[in-house]
Amino acid sequence: MRRFKFAFIALVFSAFILAAHPLTTPTSVTGFLTDTLSGKRGANSLHVDAAKRNVAAGMAQYAVYDEKTHKLYILEPQSTAVGYICQRITVSGALASSPMAHSAQTIDPNTNQVKNFHHVGQDDTTPVAGVLTIASIALAPPLPQKIPGKTRN
């Protein structure tokens, strides 16, 4: 009987901890909209066709590459993201965990298992921060251009 009481108290305590710490976190990210197969290598305006092909083939999902944290944030819903492909955007929403650990991975819809892609020229080093459910999305101002040969004083 004593073990039952201890197990019940532990269960109630863990329920309070989970209620105090939600599984999603409000997050705002600014970066280029790319795909999870290309990662940071696709974070530029020249990558539109490749990103669309990767997503259409089911090998990737649309994600924002954050220039500050150097991580990918997979976007949900994907249909909202498609209009901003390969543009610099700011996205706000709720961040949840993802089973994908880095770029060049996909989730098999039949088995829910994470699979790695191994193709020449793909990026498999960009970490995935999680899945960002879009609350708001907008174009971000462009990055300041670096002038060649100009140094700071």
Alpha-carbon gap, residue 70 to 73, rounded angstroms:
10
pLDDT at 37 > cutoff 80: yes
Q: Between 35 and 21, whose confidence is greater?
A: 35
82 pLDDT more than 50: yes
User: What CA–CA distance (Å, rounded) separates 139 from 119?
Assistant: 31
Is the pTM for the entire model greater than 0.75?
A: no
| Percent of the chain's residues with pLDDT above 90 | 31
